[in-house]
Amino acid sequence: MSQLIDPFQRAITYLRVSVTDRCDFRCVYCMSENMTFLPKKELLTLEELDRLCSAFIGMGVKKLRITGGEPLVRKGIMTFFEGMSRHLDSGALSELTLTTNGSQLAKFARPLADAGVRRINISLDTLDEAKFAEITRWGRLAQVLDGIEAAQAAGLRVKINTVALKGFNEDELFTLADWCARKDMDLTFIEVMPMGDIGNENRLGQYWSLKDLRARLAERFTVTDLAERTGGPARYVRLEETGQKIGFITPLTHNFCESCNRVRITCTGEIYTCLGQEGKSDLRAPLRRHPEDDAPLQDAIRAAIGLKPRGHDFDYSRQELGGQMSRHMSHTGG
């Protein structure tokens, strides 16, 4: 089967799939406090997710990242990971990984490792218990820290993803960096993105440029650019004094679209070929209409990739949320 190539000759090798819109946290930049979740019949079943991901793997996808909401709150999710492990065993898939809030890892870290997961990303924006409760609304920091311990004990390589939020975690920049260095975890900072209606939260007020964050790091450390890329949008530096790797995901101050090799699928089977555009295609319909024949699904995937844009249009410079997406991050899966 021929590889997926978009209109700008970029090979699509990285698939991010949201398996649920539900989460046990209500992070203020991701969800409203009183979320209305999708009816379960609208979500792809675990069997449909397996079939869909397998189709993409058959068309050249080498890296599969599972997201949510919180993927580990999806009932029966380990059967999906165990199913995907056959593609690791065959060599068709190079990496199976997930992004999680860490709350369920004490339970799932070992089964994930047994299914072939080697690296995970854990979203964590503060090491202060009170601030953690504030930003997640419902979360408990101790539960996440226990999950991180379980992940490392299971042999999983952990990367911490931290959303840079002005006035919230600016004062923890070095605390977070030092903590990750001590625990031998990589750390990536992410600029807050204009996604979804989150009530009274002011995205312009939350925005902390990573250019400024990097300059702050350089006041204490020797910061060296690295050529390394991991298939995602992050650009990396090394802090020479500690040897640790720090990533920056900067959709607002640096457009990383020229090398974009990824697409996202929502928990309802919509494919978004760009996180920062509203354009989408429906893959659930061909999945359900042709349960025994993958050809219509493959045709729908190719048609969707044929619509992939050159880039996104996030922009805070106009003092309004240019390019704001109406959908929540929990629906698209980050």
Question: Binding site annotation covers 123?
Answer: yes
Residue 263 in marked binding region: yes
Cβ(121)–Cβ(233) below 8 Å:
no
Question: Does 23 carry a binding-site annotation?
Answer: yes
> What is the phi/psi pair of residue 57, to 5°?
-65, -40
51 assigned binding-site residue: no
Q: Give the C-alpha separation, 32 to 83, whole Å.
A: 33
* Residue 110 in marked binding region: no
- 235 annotated binding-site participant: no
Q: Which two tokens mark 256?
A: 């990383």
Would the annotation count 30 as a binding residue? yes
Confirm or deny that 281 is annotated as ligand binding: no
The residue among 222, 253, 223, 31 whose CA lies nearest residue 123 is 31
Is 16 annotated as belonging to a binding site?
Answer: yes
Q: Which of 310, 204, 192, 308 is nearest to 250 (CA)?
A: 192
Residue 69 counted as an annotated binding residue: yes
Q: Is 302 annotated as a binding residue?
A: no
Q: Is 53 annotated as a binding residue?
A: no
User: Is position 27 annotated in a ligand binding site?
Assistant: yes
Q: Which letter, b or e, does each residue of 174-193 get, where b requires 16 or more Cβ atoms within 10 Å of its Cβ?
A: eebbeebbeeebbbbbbbbb
Is 59 annotated to bind a ligand? Reply is no
Mark the binding-site residues, compressed into ranges.
Answer: 16, 23, 27, 29-30, 65, 69, 99, 123, 159, 193, 257, 260, 262-264, 274
Annotated binding site for GTP: 16, 65, 99, 159, 262-264
Q: Mark the binding-site residues for [4Fe-4S] cluster, compressed into ranges.
A: 23, 27, 30, 257, 260, 274
Q: Which residues are annotated as a binding site for S-adenosyl-L-methionine?
A: 29, 69, 123, 193
